[in-house]
Amino acid sequence: MSFNRPSIVCHQQLPVGQGGFAIMSLTTPNEEEFHFIYDCGSDPVRNTERLIPDVKAWCGGHVDALFISHFDADHVDGLDRLLENIKIETVFIPYLSPVQQALVFIGGDGTSSGSLREIAVNPATWFGRRGVDRIVRVRGAEDGSEDEPPREPPTLDPDAFADGSKLGPSDVDRRYKLMTSIPLERATADLSDAEPDDAEQSILGFGGSVLISDGQQPLDWTLLPFVPDRTKTADFPNFENAFKTIVGAHSPKRSGSSRDSRLKAALQCRTCRSKMKAAYANIGRGLGGARHNGVSMSLYSGPVTFSAGTWTVSGWQGTSRRLRDLGDHPGWIAAGDAPLSTTKSMREWTSFFGHRLKACSVLVLPHHGAASSFNKDLLTPPSISAYVAAAGRPSQYRHPSASVCKAVRNASRRLIHVTQYDRSVWTMMAVSR
């Protein structure tokens, strides 16, 4: 079995200012389209909500998969409006331990509503009530020692997808389906309280990717998520122990009570939240970036097997279509809010994506171009010519950082600032030759 290239792939970073909202469409050789979204939020949320009618028209009211990098408000607060208007089959989220769920709830930027913070604690119910069919939790890399080599994802082979798991509709009139490169794990019963409207839950193991297949021949395109685990600093066990004590004292384990019900009860208690916040404040920040961003999911969208000369890639900003030649590298990669400033986190990230970085021409900078998450090694792949920063103008957070902009330009690369203004939308289109 061999891979068959898609005909056209288009990525857009939408103009929401401080936030994240990216869309991708893929056209198969049979002219069937697939639609994907990466994050859906902004500060303020109206910047995202105003675009949802256009997104609905773009996808015809149907999206095959949504990938959520993490649960900060400026990446998820548009989800309610999005799901009111668009049917989404599968949602991929980072796998969070109970302690990490608590960090999301108490350690975020403070602007998320209780409903949105509940996504991290009980996503099956939250999404299920909004029409999502299934939730796939993406496992991250274990946070090893400095001396341990970073783990790499398994090599993708077209024949391997026969042993993976099918995602997507079972309609007989739709030939192409989403597949995973490794079998999905069944979510254990204690992940949430089961309710009639809950979305189906599964777990995608470390290094697992998503591919589109017609059941006979997979397309040469993959969506590969990477979830690090940057929460476990040397002092993290102190918070972990404090967390278990607080939850246990407030919601002792009883027959029939689930992990999520006990956690949710504790997080709804103002005294418990105050105690958790006090414990959270003691966590060191030596790894760079806020601790609740430590499990932000990056996403590679690109070919499985890249060969030079097989694609024509162009990019443009706004609606003028003043095309920029991006060569023949069709891949796109977004880093979410991943804290990549340290040597270890950057090595882990680059080792995971490996040769796939050589297939990319566009990289969406981590944390809106913040200096605290940037690493100069992001400028190393020679094929990446455009670096996108999604941030407001003016930005109260001073994103993108002046030092990051300078580093990108000094490396003779393009800095694309996608703001809240329509003229700043960034589009990349790859056409198979």
Domain ranges of the chain: 8-228+299-330+416-432, 236-280
Please tell me the predicted confidence (pLDDT) of residue 216.
Answer: 62
pTM score, whole prediction: 0.89
Q: At CA 182, angle to CA 180 and CA 185, rounded to 5? A: 95
For the chain, list residues with pLDDT below 50. Answer: 109-112, 143-147, 169-175, 189-192, 284-290, 292
**pLDDT value for 275:** 83
pLDDT at 173: 38
Q: What is the 3-state secondary structure (H, E, C) of the chain?
A: CCCECCCEEEEEECCCCCEEEEEEEEECCCCCEEEEEEEEEECCCHHHHCCHHHHHHHHCCEEEEEECCCCCHHHHCCHHHHHHHCEEEEEEEECCCHHHHHHHHHHCCCCCCHHHHHHHHCHHHHHHCCCCCEEEEECCCCCCCCCCCCCCCCCCCHHHHHHCCEECCCCCCCCCEEEECCCCEECCHHHCCCCCCCCEEEEECCCCCEEEECCCCEEEEEEEEECCCCCCCCCHHHHHHHHHHHHHHHCCCCCCCCHHHHHHHHHCCHHHHHHHHHHHCCCCCCCCCCHHHCCCCEEEEECCCCCCCCEEEEEEECCCCCCEECCCCCEEEECCCCCCCCHHHHHHHHHHHHHHHHHEEEEECHHHHCHHHCCHHHHCCCCCCEEEEECCCCCCCCCCCHHHHHHHHHCCCEEEEECCCHHHCEEEEEEEC
pLDDT in tens, 198-247: 999 999 999 999 988 765 677 899 999 999 865 555 566 777 788 788 88
Q: Round to whole Å and give the CA distance between 251 and 306.
A: 52
Please give the pLDDT value at position 340.
Answer: 94
322-364 residue pLDDT tens: 778 999 999 999 999 999 999 989 999 999 999 999 999 999 9
